[in-house]
Amino acid sequence: MSDSPSIFTKIIAREIPADIVFESDSVIAFRDIAPQAPVHLLVVPKTEEFANVAELAVGNPSLLAELVAVAQQLAMEHTGGQFRLIFNTGENAGQTVFHVHAHVLGGNLEEGTLGH
């Protein structure tokens, strides 16, 4: 992981603006700036400790469970509960920000719609 804060850490610190749709003490969610679906939300733990979902699952499974619960709650609010939940792990899998995050995609989805 880089020594500089991720873009998500900067959003959490309000250094970069975002359309925030949910926030708790440990999780924040906001609209993706380059949506790949009618609804494209990012659900992000406020800690930058974990680069990907596998690290989060091992290091803090309760935070992973909270992240998934928030994703489901947002999907109920924004997509009627029908959604894709995507975690990209590794650069070759499309991960561009190495601060674990979940993509909540909903709306009228086509096969092949993925997050980053």
Encode pLDDT of 28-80 as tens digits. Answer: 999 999 999 999 999 999 999 999 999 999 999 999 999 999 999 999 999 99
Encode pLDDT of 78-110 as tens digits. Answer: 999 999 999 999 999 999 999 999 999 998 876
Task: Confirm if 27 and 15 have CB atoms less than 8 A apart.
Answer: no
Distance in angstroms (rounded) separating the CA atoms of residues 85 and 70: 11
| pLDDT band (50, 70, 90) for residue 112 | low
Predicted TM-score (pTM) of this structure:
0.90
Nearest to 19 by CA among 40, 49, 37: 40
Residue 23's DSSP bridge partners are: 28
Indicate if the pLDDT at residue 8 is higher than 60.
yes
Q: Which residues are catalytic?
A: 101
User: What are the structural domains, with CATH classification, of the chain?
Assistant: 7-106 (3.30.428.10)
